[in-house]
Amino acid sequence: MKTLLSSHHPVRHVKSFKYAFKGILHTLINEPNFRVQILIVTAASYLGFLYKISNIEWGLLIITLGSLLAAEMINTVVEEFIDALIKEYHEGARVIKDVAAGYVLINAITTLAIILLIFGHRISQSVI
């Protein structure tokens, strides 16, 4: 019983958040693409406030932008893991890293499509 309660101790939860934030900070410091994606998230959020998008559009935007950042972090995990395990060139390692990068690319293209769907007509009307 004591073991069960200790696994749900508030201090343990605080530590898990600390480790999660350390992971985000690591990605922010070491991954230039993540920093670019943070700028995209910031710009899209600004546009959302500027154009007063609907709650449904906010929901779609938040899911899409969060998925983009998460995809970059997953890619970082894959790259770090492969680099730690395999020191020399290995075709299988290259394929794994390429597929992980492709996952991020598909996510980025999807994010761009969502951003264009939400803001494209608003921006074009503002320019005209």
Tokens of 58: 């906010």
As a whole number of angstroms, the distance between CA 12 and CA 17 comes to 9
- Residues tagged in the binding site annotation for a divalent metal cation: 31, 79
Does 72 participate in catalysis according to the annotation?
Answer: yes
Active site residue: 57, 72, 80, 91, which one? Answer: 72
Our CA angle for 78, 41, 125, nearest 5°, is 140
- Residues tagged in the binding site annotation for substrate: 72
- Residues tagged in the binding site annotation: 19, 31, 72, 79, 88-90, 97-98
Among residues 23, 27, 3, 26, which one has the least CA distance to residue 15?
23
Where in the sequence numbering do the catalytic residues fall?
Answer: 72
